[in-house]
């Protein structure tokens, strides 16, 4: 039963009436379980809100902690309530994003340092930080909403993982360092190390790390997230009991300064007295919060998809989360998003419906309005240990790059992490994008752009030639090379392409002119470096008696190559619309240069037929049974769909076999030259013509009609059998050629 139907039934009937219905107790139990799961999971979210507030507003900025706590709790409650009913991944709790909060802490340090340098008070510095966080939250909400509104949510998935991983790993490391600072009250540096040596400082550090280790160990057990609230509450009780037993001044420094509870604030009311130059100088950190928040939202949604085996609407999630965040900024809310661990905790506790998120958001809102002083309840080491635990989890997820092949990505991720932590987010962004581009270029350049390489010996053009010419082309076929290129031709692969073509077309004992047919049908683009490599290839081809033939290239690629002087005009290179046309032209050129021209060097029709049938048999067949026809160019030999009552023997010239294509376009599937047979399949199968046969030039054919064939069979059975054997050999040659073509293209 959906939540809508449940509410409608509740309004009409009441709890007792619903419980009395068939299945009513089960429905009530299901919703009760959802509500309990959401409320219990919200305890973890509350701990996050307090920990993150303490992380951002530490030391002199602690005066701003109540406002930050208000901002996180308010946004958690309202964004959860606005998102729980519309998310495509219910149940859902919202909360501060772990990686983004680490950048918020960097932003707070940057802004406060500039404010203190100008002599501002701690209160003024805290207000500058709050306004900066409000601006970052506004920018984050607007960016995330725009990505969803313009259906660009899926585009975020294409950001290189090392860049995202580096940002997240750096954020996790900053969370760990910040957790130590929150837990001990001092940053862990060589200068502050003496402050930790006294018993109280060392004890706080030890408890912080022990609690973090317990949480990390818990995550690896079967209890997992289900026991997290109980462990947090148990740690609070244990530390408080130890402090009570120690008595005296032992409790000093173990709690944050009392705040009196969350304190409402308004960004608009805080704009007075703001030094905008300070905020302008922190622009990189503000923009980084938006970027890291977007990446974190993507990863959280993706993780919930895997966890729940569901498919989320990324655009809807972005629209909902971004719009809800924009709605709460004006009343002091700070940027929050999908709370991954609390949402997983709902699953572990058996929550399944949207009511779990609604109950959790409502509970956070009630605690916010109650004015409870959480800072005085939770000891520092518990907050710090939780931050260390969350930071370690972020680092582990960011560096989880499986497989040996991903080591370069892992190295780049670590480089970006170190650059961000040591040099700042701007440097990390620049190094990350440069590194990702270089890594992509290096990886892509190792993928050969030559997808396949065959010679004319393995792949012939769709042209049926006389046996003599076919044998000549088979013998000399390794002088024609066909290479299929694929992908984008760029600086990373262009020089390798040049060297590969030189190696692939080496003479290997065959001398004379060679032809290189480059099928560019799968080439998506080319850059200037690849154009230079093509020019170098063209120069080498001209010096080495190699003809470069470009086939099936896009119009833009043809224009680029023509502008570079590689094809067209006086260039040595040639261009054809299809690979078959290019290969056919190369075969004709090879036949011409090898002395295999179809005129003087080839046998005439009578000589060819005598070789196939014998001299006496061929004379009797020509004289008594074949009809000589002369055809002009474009004259139809056989029409598609006509009765197949003739067999044509092509004596000279050539004919084309044409079939209809899509959109009324005619496709030439084969060309037949002198010394070939046409029409025998339809003739013997007694089926209509499956294609049209058209003369491409002035052509002479000898025709055997069905009536004449019947007379041949009756008058000269031996001659008819010899003719049939000749036709079977021609068909066998075609099947063999088709098999070799299929093998070459596999």
Higher local confidence (pLDDT), 286 or 350: 286
Residue 12: per-residue pLDDT: 46
Q: Quote the Cα angle for 190-193-198, to 5°.
A: 165
What are 439-496's pLDDT values in tens digits? 766 666 666 688 888 888 888 888 888 777 888 888 888 889 999 898 888 776 777 7
If phi > 0 it is left, if psi is from -120 to 50 it is alpha, else beta; for residue 182 that is alpha
- Give CA separation, 745 vs 458, 576, 581, 667, in Å: 9, 20, 17, 20
pLDDT of 274 strictly over 80: yes
CA separation for the pair 727, 722 (Å, rounded): 9
Q: How many CB atoms lie within 10 A of CB 634?
A: 10
Per the CB < 8 A criterion, the answer to whether 80 and 92 are in contact is yes
Q: Are 450-593 and 605-745 in the same CATH fold?
A: no
- Residue ranges per structural domain of the chain: 3-9+25-398, 450-593, 605-745
Residue 598: per-residue pLDDT: 42
Residue 625: per-residue pLDDT: 92
Residue 250: per-residue pLDDT: 62
CA separation for the pair 106, 394 (Å, rounded): 17
Q: What is the mean pLDDT of the chain?
A: 82
* 105-119, 491-505, 534-548, 702-716: the lowest-pLDDT one: 491-505
Beta bridge partners of 411: none
pLDDT of 385 strictly over 90: no
Higher local confidence (pLDDT), 484 or 432: 484
CA separation for the pair 670, 667 (Å, rounded): 9
Task: Mention the CATH class of domain 605-745.
Answer: mainly beta
Tokens 């692969």 identify what position?
A: 493
3-state secondary structure of 548: strand
What are 93-116's pLDDT values in tens digits? 999 987 888 889 889 999 999 999
3-state secondary structure of 203: helix
pLDDT > 70: percent of the chain: 85
- Highest mean pLDDT pick, 109-123, 242-256, 308-322: 109-123
Domain 450-593, CATH number (from 2.70.50.60, 3.30.420.10, 3.30.750.24, 3.40.190.10): 3.30.750.24
- Highest mean pLDDT pick, 142-156, 346-360, 371-385, 696-710: 696-710
Burial 82-120 (b: 16+ CB within 10 A, else e): bbbebbbbbbbbbbbbbbbbbbbbbbbbbbbebbeeeeb
Residue 714: per-residue pLDDT: 93
Containing H/E element for 511?
A: none
Predicted TM-score (pTM) above 0.75 = no
Higher local confidence (pLDDT), 44 or 444: 44
pLDDT-derived band at 282, boundaries 50, 70, 90? very high
What are 596-640's pLDDT values in tens digits? 444 334 567 888 888 888 889 989 999 999 999 999 999 999 999
Average pLDDT over residues 354-361: 92
Average pLDDT over residues 383-403: 77
Residue 222: per-residue pLDDT: 66
Residue 210: per-residue pLDDT: 93
Per the CB < 8 A criterion, the answer to whether 514 and 480 are in contact is yes
Residue 14: per-residue pLDDT: 47
């Amino acid at each position: 039963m959906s939540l809508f139907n449940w509410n409608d039934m509740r309004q009409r009937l009441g709890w007792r009436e619903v419980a009395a219905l068939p299945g009513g107790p089960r429905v009530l139990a299901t919703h009760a379980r959802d509500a309990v799961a959401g409320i219990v999971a919200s305890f973890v979210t509350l701990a996050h809100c307090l920990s993150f507030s303490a992380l951002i507003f530490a030391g002199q900025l602690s005066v701003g902690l109540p406002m930050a706590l208000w901002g996180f709790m308010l946004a958690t409650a309202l964004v959860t309530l606005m998102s729980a009913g519309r998310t495509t991944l219910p149940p859902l709790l919202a909360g501060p994003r772990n990686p983004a909060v680490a950048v918020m802490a960097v932003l707070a340090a940057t802004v406060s340092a500039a404010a203190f340098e100008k002599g501002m008070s701690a209160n003024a510095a805290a207000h500058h930080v709050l306004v900066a966080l409000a601006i970052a939250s506004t920018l984050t909400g607007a960016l995330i909403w725009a990505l969803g509104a313009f259906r660009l949510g899926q585009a975020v998935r294409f950001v290189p993982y090392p860049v995202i991983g580096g940002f997240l790993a750096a954020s996790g490391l900053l969370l760990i360092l910040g957790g130590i600072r929150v837990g001990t009250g001092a940053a862990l540096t060589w200068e502050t190390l003496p402050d930790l040596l006294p018993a109280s400082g060392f004890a706080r550090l030890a408890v912080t790390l022990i609690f973090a280790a317990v949480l990390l160990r818990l995550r690896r057990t079967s209890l997992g997230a289900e026991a997290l609230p109980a462990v947090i509450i148990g740690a609070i009780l244990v530390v408080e009991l130890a402090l009570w037993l120690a008595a005296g001044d032992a409790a000093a420094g173990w709690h944050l300064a009392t705040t009196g509870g969350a304190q409402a604030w308004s960004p608009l009311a805080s704009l007075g007295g703001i030094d905008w130059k300070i905020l302008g100088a922190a622009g990189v950190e503000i923009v980084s919060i938006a970027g890291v928040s977007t990446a974190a939202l993507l990863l959280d949604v993706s993780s919930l998809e895997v966890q729940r085996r569901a498919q989320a609407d990324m655009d809807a999630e972005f629209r909902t989360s971004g719009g809800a965040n924009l709605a709460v900024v004006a009343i002091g809310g700070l940027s929050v998003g999908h709370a991954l661990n609390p949402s997983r905790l709902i699953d572990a506790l058996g929550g399944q419906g949207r009511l779990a998120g609604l109950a959790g958001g409502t509970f956070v809102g009630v605690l916010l309005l109650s004015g409870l002083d959480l800072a005085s309840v939770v000891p520092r080491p518990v907050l710090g240990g939780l931050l260390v635990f969350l930071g370690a989890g972020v680092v582990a997820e960011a560096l989880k790059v499986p497989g040996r092949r991903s080591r370069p990505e892992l190295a780049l991720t670590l480089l970006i992490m170190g650059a961000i932590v040591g040099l700042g987010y701007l440097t990390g962004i620049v190094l990350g994008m440069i590194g990702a581009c270089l890594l992509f270029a290096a990886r892509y350049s190792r993928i050969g752009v030559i997808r396949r390489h065959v010679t004319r010996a393995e792949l012939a053009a769709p042209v049926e030639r006389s046996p003599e010419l076919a044998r000549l082309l088979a013998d000399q076929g390794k002088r024609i090379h066909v290479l299929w290129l694929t992908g984008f031709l760029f600086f990373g692969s262009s020089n390798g392409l040049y060297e590969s073509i030189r190696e692939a077309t080496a003479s290997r004992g065959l001398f004379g002119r060679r032809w290189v047919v480059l099928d560019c049908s799968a080439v998506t683009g080319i850059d200037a470096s690849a154009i230079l490599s093509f020019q170098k290839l063209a120069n080498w081809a001209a010096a080495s008696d190699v003809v470069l033939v470009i086939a099936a290239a896009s119009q833009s690629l043809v224009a680029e190559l023509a502008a570079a002087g590689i094809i067209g005009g006086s260039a040595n290179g040639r261009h054809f619309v299809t690979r078959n046309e290019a290969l056919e032209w190369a075969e004709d050129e090879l036949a011409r240069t090898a002395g295999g021209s179809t005129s003087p060097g080839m046998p005439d029709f009578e000589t060819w037929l005598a070789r196939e049938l014998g001299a006496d048999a061929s004379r009797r067949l020509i004289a008594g049974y074949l009809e000589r026809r002369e055809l002009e160019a474009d004259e139809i030999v056989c029409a598609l769909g006509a009765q197949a009552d003739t067999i044509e023997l092509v004596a000279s010239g050539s004919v084309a076999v044409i079939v209809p294509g899509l959109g009324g376009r005619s496709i030439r599937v084969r060309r037949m030259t002198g010394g070939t047979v046409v029409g025998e399949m339809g003739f013997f199968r007694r089926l209509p013509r499956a294609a049209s046969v058209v003369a491409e030039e002035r052509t002479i054919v000898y025709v055997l009609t069905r009536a004449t064939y019947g007379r041949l069979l009756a008058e000269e059975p031996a001659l008819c059998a010899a003719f049939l054997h000749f036709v079977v050999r021609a068909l066998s040659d075609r099947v063999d050629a088709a098999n070799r073509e299929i093998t070459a293209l596999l």
